[in-house]
Amino acid sequence: MNFDLSEDQIVFQNLAKEFAAKELAPFAAKWDSESYFPKEVIEKAGELGFCSLYVPEEDGGMNLGRLDASIIIEQLSTGCTSTTAFITIHNMALWMLSKFGKEKLKKEWCPSLSSGKKLASYCLTESGAGSDAASIKTTAKKTNDGYIINGSKSFISGSGETDCLILMARTGKEGAGGISCFLIPANSKGIDYGKKEEKMGWKNQPTRIVNLTEVKVPKDNLIGEEGQGFKIAMQGLDGGRINIATCSIGTAQAALSSAQQYMNEREQFGKKIGEFQALQFKLADMTTELVAARHFVRLAANKVDNNHPEATTYSAMAKRFATDVGFNVCNEALQIFGGYGYIQEYPLERYVRDVRVHQILEGTNEIMRMIIGRRMMMEDATNLVQ
Amino acid sequence: MLYSAVIEYALNLCLYYKGIIFMKVLVPIKRVVDYNVKVRAKSDESGVDLANVKMAINPFCEIAVEEAVRLQEEGKASEVIAVSIGTEASQEQLRTALALGADKAILVQTEVEVEPLGVAKLLKAVVEKENPDLIILGKQAIDDDANQTGQMLAALLNYPQGTFASEIELKDGGIEVTREVDGGLQTVSLSLPAIVTTDLRLNEPRYASLPNIMKAKKKPLDVITTEDLNVDVMPRLNTLKVSPPPERASGVIVETVDELVDKLKNEAKVIT
């Protein structure tokens, strides 16, 4: 067993770090305050390969593993959490198309999505179907040459600015088995976007309701088979959870670095505040928990890469743990900055606002506990954690 | 593979006779401490502490690679060869150069810390083997700031040199180099083969993309030794000590203009 990064991983890490430092970090505060969605920067990220990290080469992707992807995403999120989080959602949606889509549809969409020239939104959640995702009401009615889609999707990242929707809709009976997955061009007739939601964080990517009224979709735009949608969604989410957990780790690392630097500069009572043991202990705990969370995320990514039978449980545990740790580390870093942490001149309050949602989306941390808890109640469960 | 190489050779030959494409470019690069790292002198003053320090391609060398790759993309160069002198670890920086677009790489492997004259002698030997039409180097390395290698290489080879380039242009079978000199820009015209050293403003290097990083792994990287080139690289210089610059003292607030003038005259001695 070797816990060191490979030579390749170090090169990937350096590239992502440099990109984050030059192209993301200097602008993140401005994008946040102006709610500006930096599509041109995402396209630049796409030119370097960041928009198709774990998609096979034949679909224009980089063919990396989830662990490699996590190492890259972590560095990107040190520069801008919100932009990076969107890039990961795009990666996940593209992966669904690449893995389960038909050749014709893939030929049409994969090259431009892989290069970041076009962007994808992922549409599962509805106003009445959040944690209980299998209860979605959006319908896809079969016609002679395709489907007609009716319904409404909530909290859709990037919506109104993206080029296609990877959307879950009901083609059959109640429950998970009646759901199918579709690719719908974002400008299709009958699609109507709601107002931009006013959010606590992730402010630089638009979030809207997507209403679909009699939207016609050709039959080739069905991704996978009819009834396979929920399985695709859940499989995508294993990786999605690792990605979001990674965004918390990267942001927390940026917060930790800022706090450490500040403790070496700021003076009160005639000495550096870093000389107070109370703050040293705080920094020690933040560092310890962050390193633990990082390695948990990498472990889960490795399980997904190896198709480990418990990959879903590991992803859920890593997501719960890393997003909680990530939030706490950012929050404690803000505390170290005192009043300066609370004002927008410093990035700390933005870090806190941005990572807060990671405890909610891709399955709330309560849903993560449900997944883990159910698994742990099975007979052989204790073998899982050995 | 062989077939495509033959076609490429034939194509280059045709273009060569048409006078369109002819140039082989050699780019020497150096492995140095990353410019973001705050370096620390060793406590025994024998040098800079390199343990666990991030290393990178020297920024001026990276600019040299970028310029060579641009020449190739514009169809003005036929081949870009990166060469480095150093330990096995320098292969990392050569891979970076390959990922940025160089076609092949050569490592002259040595455990000795080679000084500029030694580097220039080794490069001369490489030039005699590879016969490049143009050699682009960084003007200096950010570790020792010697700023000597390009000039020494030009002298050893008896080639014309254009140092501190902020712009280069191929013209009438030669090369025009705009140089950043005190007080302005100077443009010189060199016949080929020639030596150019890069200044900061020549270009802004690209990122090595993930696909190009992967491709770079398949490009050829030859390793030779200083003995293969028959060059003696034993140090001629003796480093007495390496110590950090004195810590900046805190400033004082002066009460009056007279006091300020007095201090500038008598303490700082910057005016008379």
For B55-107, the pLDDT digits (tens) are 999 999 999 999 999 999 999 999 999 999 999 999 999 999 999 999 999 99
- What is the strand order of the sheet B104-109 is part of? B184-191, B174-181, B161-171, B194-198, B134-138, B23-29, B77-86, B104-109, B221-225
Tokens of residue B240, six digits: 């007495």
Residue by residue, DSSP assigns A259-283 as HHHHHHH-EETTEEGGGSHHHHHHH
Tokens of residue A194, six digits: 């709601």
Q: How far apart are the first and last CA of chain B?
A: 73
What does the pLDDT read at residue B60? 98
Distance CA(B161)–CA(B120), nearest Å, equals: 14
Those residues of chain A that have pLDDT short of 70 are none
Helices (H), chain B: 2-18, 59-73, 91-100, 116-130, 149-157, 210-216, 257-262
Range in A328-332, B13-17, B122-126 with the lowest mean pLDDT? B13-17
Where residue B17 falls among pLDDT bands split at 50, 70, 90?
Answer: low
What does the pLDDT read at residue B246? 86
Distance CA(A100)–CA(A376), nearest Å, equals: 31
A184 close to A108: Cβ distance less than 8 angstroms = no
Q: Name the residue among A7, A11, A49 with its Cβ closest to that of B211.
A: A49
Query: What is residue A23's DSSP assignment?
Result: I
CB contact under 8 A, B210 and A8: no
pLDDT at B2 exceeding the cut of 90: no
**Region B228-248 average pLDDT:** 90
Count, in order, helices (H) and strands (E) of chain A: 13, 10
Question: Of A79 and B8, which is predicted with more confidence?
Answer: A79
**Coil/strand/helix, residue B84:** strand
CB contact under 8 A, B211 and A62: yes
CB contact under 8 A, A50 and B213: no
What does the pLDDT read at residue B272? 79
CA-nearest residue of chain B to A13? Answer: B210
Element (H, E) at A42: helix A39-47
* E-only strand ranges, chain A: 120-123, 139-142, 146-157, 164-170, 179-185, 191-193, 207-218, 222-223, 267-268, 271-272
The 10s digit of each residue's pLDDT in B134-175 is 999 999 999 999 999 999 999 999 999 999 999 999 988 899
What does the pLDDT read at residue B21? 53
| CB neighbour list of residue B63: distance below 8 Å, 6 or more residues apart | B138, B198, B199, B200, B202, B203, B205
**Best of B53, B57, B207 to disrupt the A interface by mutation (most A CBs within 10 Å)?**
B207
Distance CA(B36)–CA(B59), nearest Å, equals: 11
Closest residue by Cα to residue B79 from B31, B13, B142, B144: B13
Omega prior to B193 cis, within 30 of 0: yes
| CB neighbour list of residue A40: distance below 8 Å, 6 or more residues apart | none
Judged by a CB distance cut-off of 8 A, whether residue A64 touches chain B is yes
Distance CA(A317)–CA(A376), nearest Å, equals: 12
A384 close to A114: Cβ distance less than 8 angstroms = no
Rounded to the nearest angstrom, the minimum Cα separation between A15 and chain B is: 7
pLDDT at B254 exceeding the cut of 70: yes
Range in A143-157, B15-29, B200-214 with the lowest mean pLDDT? B15-29
What does the pLDDT read at residue B268? 85
Rounded to the nearest angstrom, the minimum Cα separation between A70 and chain B is: 14
Give me the half-sphere count of Cα atoms (radius 13 Å) on the Cβ side of residue B116.
Answer: 19
* E-only strand ranges, chain B: 23-29, 31-33, 55-57, 77-86, 104-109, 134-138, 161-171, 174-181, 184-191, 194-198, 221-225
Cα angle B81, B86, B87 (rounded to 5 degrees) comes to 120
Question: Of B8 and B177, which is predicted with more confidence?
Answer: B177
Rounded to the nearest angstrom, the minimum Cα separation between A51 and chain B is: 11
A-B Cβ pairs (cutoff 8 Å, strict)? 30
Tokens of residue A204, six digits: 């630089």
Distance CA(A228)–CA(A223), nearest Å, equals: 9
What does the pLDDT read at residue A1? 81
The 10s digit of each residue's pLDDT in B42-56 is 999 989 999 889 999
Average pLDDT, chain B: 91
Residue by residue, DSSP assigns A207-261 as EEEEEEEEEEEEGGGEESSTT-HHHHHHHHHHHHHHHHHHHHHHHHHHHHHHHHH
Where residue B10 falls among pLDDT bands split at 50, 70, 90?
Answer: low
- CA-to-CA dists, residue B14 to B11, B18, B170, angstroms: 5, 6, 20
Distance CA(A149)–CA(A126), nearest Å, equals: 14
Which residues of chain B are at the A interface, by a Cβ-Cβ cutoff of 8 Å? 92, 95-96, 99, 207-211, 213-214
CB contact under 8 A, B210 and A18: no
What does the pLDDT read at residue B173? 87
**Cβ contacts of B217-221, under 8 Å, gap ≥ 24:** B217/B95, B219/B98, B219/B102, B219/B103, B219/B104, B219/B105, B220/B104, B220/B105, B221/B91, B221/B94, B221/B95, B221/B98, B221/B104, B221/B105, B221/B106, B221/B107
Residue A83: φ, ψ to 5°: -60, -45
Judged by a CB distance cut-off of 8 A, whether residue A192 touches chain B is no
What does the pLDDT read at residue A329? 98
A361 close to A316: Cβ distance less than 8 angstroms = no
CB contact under 8 A, B210 and A64: yes
Residue tagged 């502490």 (tokens):
B49
Q: Residue A107: exposed, middle, or buried by beta-carbon count in 10 A (0-12, 13-18, 19+)?
A: exposed
A82 close to A31: Cβ distance less than 8 angstroms = yes
What does the pLDDT read at residue A220? 96
CB contact under 8 A, A49 and B210: yes
Catalytic machinery residues of A: 362
pTM, two decimals, is 0.88
Distance CA(A60)–CA(A48), nearest Å, equals: 12
Residue A305: φ, ψ to 5°: -60, -35
Closest residue by Cα to residue A38 from A101, A106, A86, A109: A86
